[in-house]
Amino acid sequence: MGNTSVKKSAIEPARILKVAAGLGLLGSSAQRGPAIMAALCDPKTTPGQLAALIESEAALYARVLRVANSSYYGQSRTISTVARALVLLGFDAVRGIAAAACLQRSLPRSHEPPLIDTRALMTHSIATAAAAELLARTARPARAADAFITGLLHNLGTVVQIQVDVAGVMAMLDRRMQGDTRGIAILESEYASVSHELCVALIYESWNLPDAVIAATGHHHSPQSAPAEHRDLTYLINLGASLALAAGCTFALEPQPVADDTEAMAALGIPAQRLAEVTALLPAQVSLLTSELLDG
């Protein structure tokens, strides 16, 4: 898997991919989700191609129009077509709405009590996306849309990790209940047979997502290990996730911020004051986004 690999795993990649297929993330059971997500993440996708893609999926079409008409975007005029949404909201906003809808649809449905609250996990991902986008507007404006979509996608590997390494996840949750506040990467190195970063990198490689997305999601806890050409985006996701946790958008495996943000701040040239401003903005941003993206 080249530079995408983040940690030597005791579990074979084929096993991880088989579990992902069983969850409906790969293979015939995944339907068109991966292909749609690949197109949404591809900067070469044109507005016309994006509109046609969304319109070909009734559920996705309905969700995009509902969110486009929501209070989050504050439109005074009704948006009745994707083409209209592209004009009024912009290409990148519509990409982000569609990506969030696809991601939510990809989350496995279970009738059993889950080890991890998937809504809390999704809320953390939305908060990471919002924070990463706000930071990118300051430090890397050309990467703002990519930062939003990649932030949304960064933690899907946890869903697969829960299924492929139940014992490891339960051991980490037990450590959390005992008050262990160390970073998730440290806990995984001690208790897990596979990291959530490796799981997500394998899935997105199978989805044929862009290398930048694979690198940023697969290295978001250790941006310095990402390929140099994708390091800026990876730092944005790393810092966005840290701010999301600081703003209270946590979940069982990551109950509080523990990372030192100095490296990411220096790499991106972002001052501490801007971090404080983004953290202050996040609760309202996330409240609106989650109500529109998750509750519709």
CATH code of the domain containing 280:
1.10.3210.10
| 119, part of any domain | yes
| 55, part of any domain | yes
Average pLDDT over all residues of the chain: 86
| 2, part of any domain | no
Q: How far is the CA of 159 from the CAs of 19, 59, 127, 232, 279, in angstroms?
A: 10, 23, 18, 26, 26
Q: Tens digit of pLDDT for each residue in 30-68?
A: 667 778 888 888 878 888 888 888 888 888 888 888 888
Angstrom distance (rounded) from CA 131 to CA 124: 10
Q: Tens digit of pLDDT for each residue in 223-250?
A: 999 999 999 999 999 999 999 999 999 9
Q: Tens digit of pLDDT for each residue in 102-122?
A: 777 666 665 455 788 888 998
Domain count, the chain: 1
| 1, part of any domain | no
| 3, part of any domain | no
| 239, part of any domain | yes
* Cα angle 125-127-128, degrees, rounded to a multiple of 5: 65
| Block residue for tokens 């990198």 | 201
| Block residue for tokens 């077509």 | 81
Angstrom distance (rounded) from CA 222 to CA 231: 10
| 64, part of any domain | yes
Angstrom distance (rounded) from CA 12 to CA 2: 15
Residue with the bigger pLDDT between 215 and 99: it is 215
Domain containing 23 equals: 8-293
